[in-house]
Amino acid sequence: MYTQPLNKVTLALEQWINAVVTSKYNPLYYHGALPQFFLWVLFLSGLLLFAYYVPTIDNAYSAEKLINAYTTVEYITHIPFGATIRGIHRYAGDAMVIAILLHMLRVWFTDRYRQYRIVQWLSGIVLLLLVLFIGQTGYYLVWDERSLALTRMTAKSFDVLPIIGEPLKWWFLNGQEITNYTLSNFLFIHIGLSFSLLFGLWIHYVRMQRPVLTPPPVIQFMLFALLSILLLWYPVTSGSMATLTQQPTAFEVDWFFLWPYWLMTQMNLQAYWLTIVTGVIVLCMLPYFVHTKEVEAAEVVTKKCTGCSLCSRDCPYAAIEMVPAPAGSRFKLLATVKSYRCSGCGVCVGACAFDAIDLPNLLDTDLTAKITASAKG
């Protein structure tokens, strides 16, 4: 398998971490829970920021007291702990991208992304794209010069798309051009899509029994501590307020979220879209590049199954469903394997005390015979 050397590297790294903090606290054993943790941090800090935010680009209220998106962000930055909450919100986003990349690399390196895990892999890609886009809309909301430049670049990039380009741009700007409605649309996208992440996560988790959703408190403390300590070194900043009549030329790039804009400046827009779409397609195709033998799903011996549902409780992939037993059976329930979910791991075989479920290519009776033979021999 072509991921073998990568798997070795991962294992070596994990063993080293185990030696330091024991397997109980190894963050690599909670790699899926790390982005989820940052998501909660983002929701909470985002809620606090939302309380002060006014999504308009110009003075919607009165000529003297300018209240718009930019000034509310400024205001947040100056109230007690406002700047720090803003910082937490921004850096938790960056940290989430790092955590997602870590998660992705680990499942790829350890060959845990194919076959019966395909739904997780594909939904994971969608979630990653969503997170990137949500993060970018977060940068529009500040409404400084960078936001304006990003908004214009995005709108322009939609222009080159055939057919869907025009409506997309209309949807994005919420009209023909940048107005107050644009910013309220950005706020809606930012928050609305964040909640749609939860739906995506449901699909991401639906094929797993007992998904690991929270890292142990110690790791949570550590991660939050890292965020809070880094804040002091890199306080968040914004540029000067956006003015629609000017075109800002340069801005700082957050490499975790804004790299597509860097890409845009390196090539023409057609090539940009081609790169992005090809990249996503390659990611989606990754599981199909490796050919290994088909998984042989576990099979229930209908006559022996007592319907105790131990196997269905233990199956790590939620692949066993208990259905009403056929008429005439002595028992109420019967285990059935959803073969498209089954990994062929055999955990159900270990769970069944009645020898009623089998891996077709590796019968437990054969294994027991082998064990008894070698014990006697």
Q: Applying CB under 6 A, which residues contact ligand SF4? A: 298, 300, 305-311, 315, 317, 319-320, 335, 337, 342-348, 351-352, 354, 356-357
Which single residue is written with the structure tokens 């985002």? 46
Residue 307 site contact among ligand SF4, other proteins, none (CB < 5 to 8 Å, cut-off depends on kind): ligand SF4
> Under a CB-based contact definition with an 8 Å cutoff, are residues 60 and 180 in contact?
yes
Q: Compare residues 30 and 317 and give the one whose CB is closer to ligand SF4.
A: 317
Q: Compare residues 45 and 154 and give the one whose CB is closer to other proteins.
A: 45
Give the count of alpha carbons within 13 A of 335, CB side only: 31
At 320, the amino acid letter reads I
Residue 342 site contact among other proteins, ligand SF4, none (CB < 5 to 8 Å, cut-off depends on kind): ligand SF4
- 354 SS3 class: coil
d(CA 237, CA 86): 10
Closest distance of CB 362 from other proteins, Å: 7
Q: Compare residues 3 and 179 and give the one whose CB is closer to other proteins.
A: 3
> Under a CB-based contact definition with an 8 Å cutoff, are residues 302 and 330 in contact?
no
Q: Compare residues 150 and 357 and give the one whose CB is closer to ligand SF4.
A: 357
Q: Which residues here bind other proteins, judged by CB under 8 A?
A: 8, 11-12, 14-15, 18, 21-26, 28-30, 77-78, 80-84, 87-88, 110, 112, 208-210, 217-219, 221-222, 224-229, 231-233, 235, 310, 314, 316-317, 343-347, 349-353, 359, 362, 364, 367-368, 370-372, 374-377
d(CA 281, CA 286): 9
CA dihedral 311, 312, 313, 319 (to 10 degrees): 120
Residue 374 site contact among other proteins, ligand SF4, none (CB < 5 to 8 Å, cut-off depends on kind): other proteins
Q: Compare residues 221 and 354 and give the one whose CB is closer to ligand SF4.
A: 354
Which single residue is written with the structure tokens 């490499």? 255
Residue 112 site contact among ligand SF4, other proteins, none (CB < 5 to 8 Å, cut-off depends on kind): other proteins
Q: Compare residues 156 and 210 and give the one whose CB is closer to other proteins.
A: 210
Residue 224 site contact among other proteins, ligand SF4, none (CB < 5 to 8 Å, cut-off depends on kind): other proteins
Burial 233-261 (b: 16+ CB within 10 A, else e): eeebebbebbeeeeebeebeebebbbebb
Residue 213 site contact among other proteins, ligand SF4, none (CB < 5 to 8 Å, cut-off depends on kind): none
User: Which of 328, 325, 377 has the alpha carbon at shortest distance from 356?
Assistant: 325
Q: Compare residues 130 and 351 and give the one whose CB is closer to ligand SF4.
A: 351
Closest distance of CB 204 from ligand SF4, Å: 18
Which single residue is written with the structure tokens 């490796």? 290
DSSP 26: -
Taking CB atoms within 8 Å and a gap of at least 24, the contacts of 217-222 are: 218/25, 219/25, 219/27, 219/30, 219/34, 219/37, 220/37
Cross-strand bridge partners of residue 299: 358
Closest distance of CB 87 from other proteins, Å: 8
Residue 325 site contact among other proteins, ligand SF4, none (CB < 5 to 8 Å, cut-off depends on kind): none
Farthest CA pair distance, the chain: 95
Residue 240 site contact among other proteins, ligand SF4, none (CB < 5 to 8 Å, cut-off depends on kind): none
Q: Compare residues 104 and 320 and give the one whose CB is closer to ligand SF4.
A: 320
Closest distance of CB 332 from other proteins, Å: 18
Closest distance of CB 373 from other proteins, Å: 8
d(CA 323, CA 338): 12
Residue 309 site contact among ligand SF4, other proteins, none (CB < 5 to 8 Å, cut-off depends on kind): ligand SF4
Residues ≥6 apart with Cβ < 8 Å to 289: none
